[in-house]
Amino acid sequence: MDAIDRRLIELLKADGRTPLKRLAAEVGLARSTVQERIKKLEENGVIRRFTIDVTEPDASLVEAYLWIRTQSVTCASVAPRIAKLPGVLQCRSIAGDQDLVVHARSETHEHLAELRSEIAAIDGIASVETHLVLKDWA
């Protein structure tokens, strides 16, 4: 990854819908070259997805952080599977007593409990602690 790739990522982080033509003008490359670079960044897992950032999530949604401890497996072997589960917004490897933290959002407490059970059933997951978000200050 070079300076141009980093600039493209910076531009896309600011607005994931920026047209290729504008990205190309910003970095001084042809549109097709920028498209190829973005495709490679996706293929290499640098860009995982394009998404939107909603200012105020629906107040009726249940939001939580799940602190996960693994046993006899690496985070890299279970995290991709967890990240693909419905309701998972982020799955990150962390340092400390826990191994992973999952940011999740669901429509009901029951759906959150199902997600928690699904994660706990994955081979190598030793424990899952659920922490509900009460208020968002940001």
- The answer to whether residues 75 and 100 touch, using CB atoms and an 8 Å cutoff, is yes
Tell me, rounded to whole angstroms, the distance of Cα 28 from its chain centroid.
Answer: 30
The pLDDT confidence band at residue 135, using thresholds 50, 70 and 90, is confident
pTM: 0.61
- Domain with 35, as residue range(s), is 3-43
Q: Is residue 70 part of a domain?
A: yes
Q: Is residue 52 part of a domain?
A: no
What CATH number did the domain enclosing 7 receive? 1.10.10.10
pLDDT in tens, 35-94: 999 999 999 989 988 877 666 556 678 999 999 999 999 999 999 999 999 999 999 999
Q: Is residue 79 part of a domain?
A: yes
Three-state DSSP state, 50? coil
The pLDDT confidence band at residue 137, using thresholds 50, 70 and 90, is confident
Q: Which residue has the higher pLDDT, 49 or 97?
A: 97
Examine the domain organization and report whether 35 and 69 are in the same domain.
no
